[in-house]
């Protein structure tokens, strides 16, 4: 019989209590995983970070061993087979299969183990290209996820439905979170792994150190995106672990759209770069707008992002510079 967490609707803002709970975090040694483990520990949980060297989560016997060994009350599933655009182009079948099978095996073994809860971390890649803005959770199934990340997004969509189905048939308590673009200290700054904010930070730091008088940026700078500090994301995940939300997906973000030009200027200011910023409009812009409706997170989790983008960028720049001297 699945044990239930108490319904925590109306929990005081930003506070989660996981005292006495054992929480296992798949992908717990990655960028988001490290911060999530800290947030869970700060909420009173006993936390185990599980990595691919510990358990092969696409093998059912290893997933069963994961539950038998760690005996978790709650599982936070962060592990994913993913990468940049190039990796998605090269591995559509692998990313579809491995992400789907990891999630399905974790759910099936979770219900057999009788855990309290599973928190699934999804992706905005699950949204269709032409979903109305701001992206609202009920629009996820209004079209097919497209582009290079489409198979990855479809695997996560399947897991959204699996969470709802397992709740309906077996009473398994789940929360599905769909975070905005993450950034912050301890992010990946390697060229082959970095996303937009660490990539731009690295470019401006290197340009400043090289004494370059101009930095040329791709596209027009007009597209908008939404950025969530990793510490806010981790706090939202801890809240989800402690709260009975229902299985419907929940956007986790700021609800604030920021143009790439505004972001680039903010990073240049934080770095202290005083040269010229220009734009190569012959390069592609990507989707023109992308930001989230965060009403559901506010209502069901009492979650609101706290770290302003400018402060978060300054902190991330300082961390990156300190990492270069370590």
Question: Which positions are annotated as active-site residues?
Answer: 152
Please tell me the distance from the alpha carbon of residue 150 to that of residue 143, in angstroms, as a whole number.
11
Please tell me the distance from the alpha carbon of residue 250 to that of residue 233, in angstroms, as a whole number.
12
By DSSP bridging, strand 173-179 and strand 181-183 are: unpaired
Work out the burial of residue 14: count CB atoms within 10 Å of its CB; fewer than 13 is exposed, 13-18 middle, 19 or more buried.
Answer: middle
The strand pairing partners of 121, in sequence order, are: 177
Question: What 3-state DSSP class applies to 276?
Answer: strand
Question: What 3-state DSSP class applies to 244?
Answer: coil
Alpha carbon of 276 to those of 53, 200, 208, 218: distances in Å?
45, 15, 11, 14
Question: What 3-state DSSP class applies to 164?
Answer: helix
* DSSP conformational letter for 190: S
* DSSP conformational letter for 135: B
Alpha carbon of 77 to those of 24, 209, 241: distances in Å?
8, 39, 11
CA proximity to 112, closest of 49, 65, 52: 65
Q: Are 146 and 88 in contact (CB under 8 A)?
A: no
CA atoms within 13 A on the CB side of 107: 28
Please tell me the distance from the alpha carbon of residue 145 to that of residue 61, in angstroms, as a whole number.
31
Residue identified by tokens 């709802």 is 164
Q: Are 259 and 200 in contact (CB under 8 A)?
A: no
């Amino acid at each position: 019989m699945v044990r239930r967490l108490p319904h925590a609707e109306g929990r005081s803002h930003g506070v989660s209590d996981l005292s006495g709970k054992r929480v296992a975090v798949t992908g717990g040694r990655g960028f988001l995983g490290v911060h999530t483990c800290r947030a869970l520990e700060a909420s009173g949980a006993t936390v185990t970070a599980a990595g691919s060297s510990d358990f092969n989560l696409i093998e059912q016997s290893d997933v069963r061993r994961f539950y038998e060994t760690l005996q978790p009350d709650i599982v936070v599933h962060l592990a994913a087979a993913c990468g940049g655009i190039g990796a998605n182009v090269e591995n559509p079948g692998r990313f579809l299969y491995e992400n789907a099978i990891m999630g399905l095996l974790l759910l099936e073994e979770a219900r057999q183990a009788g855990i309290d809860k599973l928190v699934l971390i999804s992706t905005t890649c699950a949204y269709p290209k032409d979903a109305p803005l701001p992206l609202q959770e009920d629009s996820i199934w209004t079209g097919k996820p497209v582009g290079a990340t489409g198979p990855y997004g479809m695997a996560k969509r399947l897991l959204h439905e699996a969470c709802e189905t397992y709740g309906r048939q077996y009473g398994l308590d789940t929360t599905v979170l769909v975070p905005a673009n993450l950034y912050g200290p301890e992010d990946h700054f390697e060229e082959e792994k970095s996303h937009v904010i660490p990539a731009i930070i690295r470019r401006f730091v290197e340009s400043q150190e090289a004494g370059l008088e101009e930095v040329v940026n791709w596209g027009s700078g007009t597209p908008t995106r939404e950025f969530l500090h990793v510490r806010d994301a981790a706090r939202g995940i801890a809240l989800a672990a402690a709260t009975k939300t229902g299985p419907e997906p929940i956007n986790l973000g700021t609800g604030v759209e920021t143009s790439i030009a505004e972001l680039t200027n903010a990073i240049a200011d934080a770095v202290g770069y005083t040269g010229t910023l220009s734009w190569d409009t012959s390069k592609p812009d990507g989707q023109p707008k992308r930001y989230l409706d965060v009403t559901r997170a506010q209502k069901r989790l009492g979650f609101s992002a706290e770290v302003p983008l400018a402060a978060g960028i300054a902190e991330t720049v300082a961390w990156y510079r300190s990492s270069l001297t370590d």
